Amino acid sequence: MKYTSFLAAAAILSLAFACTQKQTQEPNQEEIKLMIKAEKVADHNGKPVYHYVLDNGTMQVELSNYGGLIHKIITPDKDGNLENITLTFDTVEEYLSKPNPFFGATAGRVANRIADAEFMLDGTKYTLAKTNGDNHLHGGVEGFNKKVWDAEPYSNDSILGVKMSYLSVDGEEGYPGNLQTTLWMELTTDNTLRIRFESTTDKKTILNLTNHTYFNLGGAKRDVLDHQFQFWADAYTPVDEELIPTGEVKDVSGTPFDFRTPKTLGEQINANGGGFDHNMVMKREKSSEMKHFVQVKHPESGRVMDMYSNNMGVQFYTGNFLQNFAGADGKTYDKHWGFCLESQIWPDAINHDNFPSPILNPGEKYSHTIEYKFSVEK
């Protein structure tokens, strides 16, 4: 792909820079080269769609302002071989024309499910689109995953990023209030992908934003059943046959949801009867504290991913509904070929008084940070 000089009004732009910084992992203090590349790839609904590449010299993250999505994450294995570790399409343009199960997308206004596609707020019933059986899923027919965000790249000596913003107007997809959201996606020199959300509203509303990347640390050559997971969670929220929380908060002890010590996914899926699509309880009360949520290891490649967040829970989804899906690089994604770790407020929280509240009031600021840190074990 060819990139030309950065111009504010250009259809193709490129921003690149290099910096020198002490490398803690190597005694020879090699120079770390940081680079952002961006290319306009399409227009959608009258707005430009860009493909961004963040490169810290060790790994690359590819993004788009369409859907605030993560397109690819390219990381080395224990032998230094670079591979994409997400389920995706070959190009960003394909997201505009092909349906997909929220690959890499920003899900909102409300990620996950809302039972019966309705909720009450201050005595008013709000009716939403039924996009998952009789329920509402991931923000509606055209949620945040199908919006073109205003975007600009930025950088400093240790971070490469893209800042995106989107105004969701009052009544969009049935939700009340004009909601202004800013999304930062950043790659650091220590191989951390950081995702930050901030939102404000002019009317009482509900909000639950997340990222919906499907990971496969083996390079998406086969399923993820050989991955090892450890969750720092002592409870989960059981669901009914439509995957709506029952309202219980159940201890993981003695269940297949007990990942407090590392467990191989395939063994736990067999014990659970088919897969996971459940909220793991990471906090009982809201706080700004960043907590170590999950560690995932792929022994064959040596890749390790550690997830941190300041939110309340994480939806653990193991690609149960993937079937014969034509993905990138000529691969066909099938059941359990990827897993999602969706940092979130607990699902259907507006309909459960004992769950953390998803309500955002005027004058308040919603703030949510997710970090995925990548490393290798030899």
> In which residue are the tokens 């067999």 written?
270
Task: Decide if 184 contacts 163 (C-beta within 8 A).
Answer: yes
**Partners of 292 in the β-ladder:** 308
Q: From residue 43, how far is each of 9, 15, 66, 147 by CA, in Å?
A: 14, 21, 10, 12
Tokens found for residue 102: 């929220």
Cis preceding-peptide flag for 109 (omega within 30 of 0):
yes
Tokens 């949801």 map to which residue?
257
Could you write out the DSSP letters of every residue in 117-186?
GEEEETTEEEE----BTTBEETTSTT-GGGSB-EEEEEE-SSEEEEEEEEEE-TTGGG--S-EEEEEEEE
The active-site residue, picked from 136, 212, 336, 352, is 212
The reply to whether 136 belongs to the active site is no
123 CB contacts (<8 Å, ≥6 apart)? none
| Residue 351 zone, left/alpha/beta (φ > 0; ψ -120 to 50; rest) | alpha
Tokens found for residue 80: 């230094």
Q: Give the DSSP per-residue string, 41-59.
A: EEEETTEEEEEEEEE-SS-
Which has the closest alpha carbon to 284: 187, 190, 355?
355
Contact 137, 131 (CB under 8 A): yes
DSSP state at residue 252: -
Q: Could you give the maximum distance between any two Cα atoms of the chain, in Å?
A: 65
Give yes or no for a contact between 93 and 42, defined as CB atoms under 8 angstroms apart. Answer: yes
Q: Residue 40 corresponds to which tokens in the numbers above?
A: 């306009």
Catalytic position from the list 336, 342, 352, 368? 342
**DSSP assignment letter at 301:** T
Active-site residue, 51 included: no
Enzyme catalytic residues: 212, 342
